[in-house]
Structure 1
Amino acid sequence: MMGSVCCVKRFTTWSRNSLKDVRESQIMPDLVRKWLREQSKDFCAAGFDSLVKRWDKCISVGGGYVENLTLFSRRRFRTTAIMLRQLTLLLLGATMVLSQRRLALPDPRSCANRVRHSTYRDARGVAHAYFFSWEHGPTRSLEVDWLDARNICRRHCMDAVSLETPQENEFIKQRIARGNVRYIWTSGRKCNFNGCNRPDLQPPNVNGWFWSGSGAKIGPTTQRNSGDWSHTGGFGQPQPDNREAPQGNDESCLSILNNFYNDGIKWHDVACHHLKPFVCEDSDELLNFVRSRNPGVRL
């Protein structure tokens, strides 16, 4: 199992409290969402002994992407009381829904009716269907964070794309170029959370990257021929560079950027909260899960 980080931790916990539709995630205004994200940064730090209410200490989902939303210490709560009083009960309800984000449960009907823009068979003979968010009318302008991207895909028995072969990578890059898309989310994730202390995953920024959609490990980032990492970025350094770390935003998710730094269409590490279009790929695991519980369903 050295070629997979699945044995670190399997993220297949189904939650019926997960986001049911991306529309629900649009209920909360940007102001509230921004405030919650800023407040969440210190949630797991030492010294938080007087929480007003705690929903989940640190919910680990989707390859360890941690969503640390909470109501905070009484001191912090007072400092934001004026703003909170302006929120409606509806918005507070939406906040509670968003606070417990987990990997989404696939919906059999959505799986059966999933949109498939293309099918690709790689050099291994593995054939999967793909969904490109910018090619579908209802999601043409939709941009979501990394976890929402995975969950939208997962509800349709797919997952964010895992680029496991050079041929599949080129296939996706051609689609990005054709659509003139600036960037997309993949399922790529850095194993830098609890349970990632295996020697072969150290240091995480070199040996800890994997495809959360399939569990396959990505080669060391120091071996430039083992992936498609860009040679440059915002600091002019080879990717992954964890550029936002000084601001408290670990760049733990893998995005493809379209010539952002005059570097072509390349892999970049990006903080997971950024909003982007996405590519979904059939998930054999989720398709089999739905088949096993819905005999006769046509997927």
Structure 2
Amino acid sequence: FTLQMKFVLLLSVVGLATCQFNFGPRQFFRGQRPRQGGFNRFPQQQGGGQADDVRGGSAYYYSWRHDGGRKYTGNAAASLCASLGGGWQAVGISSNEELNYINSVVGQARLEYIWTGGVKSGNGWRWLNGEPFRVTGWSHTGGAQRPQPDNREGGRENCLAVLNNFYGDGIKWHDVACHHEKAVICERRA
């Protein structure tokens, strides 16, 4: 064999292996995206869940990238995140930067809606980690044309979802009954 033929043969074998095992270049570097100051500090498989993105001291896992677009109830979404291990929870939005980031993910992925880790607690709201809301992105409208949260489903809207222009209102927060099904963004804080 000539050197060129050996090279073509090698490329063919690598190409076949890539197709056979569905192992493209993104798998080599997933969880290793460069960020300011070097590579992220979340190893690929730390705590089970594989991070889809890392920013601002948090790793994020997008359910729709791993489960074929499956939808979850609010409780099942929280359970999915917890099942990833290593401190994963449904996302808790703690800053304006994180609010803008989550909104951009929802918009760029063209999702209709996602679950967060926001839950009703008495007369207020908190994140699953127990933190109170420090920022909010409530919509000015909803299914009953009232500002959110409106609890329009008879006292059952105890979960927080981010809806993508569902009521012509942009990407905004809505209180939603937890039995509805949506994708979820999970978060693991550093």
Q: Judge conservation of contact 1:111–1:155 (CA < 8 Å) in 2.
A: no
Superposed, 1:245-264 pairs within 5 Å as: 245=154, 250-264=156-170
Instruction: Write the mapping of 1:68-217 to structure 2, written as runs, cut at 5 A.
Output: 112-121=47-56, 127-136=57-66, 139-156=67-84, 157=86, 158-192=88-122, 204=123, 208-212=124-128, 214-217=129-132
Q: Normalization by structure 2: what TM-score?
A: 0.72
Quick one: distance in 1 between partners of 2:109 and 2:62?
Answer: 10
Residues 238 and 268 of structure 1, relative CA distance in 2, 3 Å threshold: same
Aligned-partner Cα distance in 2 for 1:252–1:154: 19
2:39 is aligned to: none
Q: 1:218 aligns with which of 130, 133, 137?
A: 133
User: Aligned Cα RMSD in Å?
Assistant: 1.5
SS of the counterpart of 2:183? coil
In structure 2, do the counterparts of structure 1 residues 283 and 120 end up closer, same or farther at CA, with 3 Å as the change threshold?
Answer: closer
Percent identity of equivalent pairs: 40
Q: What secondary structure is seen at the aligned counterpart in 2 of 1:147? A: helix
* d(CA) in 1 for partners of 2:55, 2:64: 18
Q: Under a length normalisation based on structure 1, what TM-score does the superposition of the two structures give?
A: 0.46
What residue identity is the alignment partner of 2:70? L
In 1, are the aligned partners of 2:127 and 2:133 still within 8 Å (CA)? yes
Structure with greater strand percent: 2
Larger helix percent? 1
Q: Which runs of 4+ in 1 moved over 2 A?
A: 110-113
Greater gyration radius: 2
Count residues in correspondence.
144
Q: RCO (CA 8 Å, sep 6+): is it higher in 1 or 2?
A: 2
Q: Could you tell me how far apart the structure 1 residues matched to 2:183 and 2:125 are?
A: 21
The gaps in structure 2 that reach 5 residues or longer are 1-44
Shift of 1:111: 5.1
SS at match of 1:278: strand
Deviations 1:2-51 (CA, angstroms, capped at 9, x unpaired)? xxxxxxxxxxxxxxxxxxxxxxxxxxxxxxxxxxxxxxxxxxxxxxxxxx
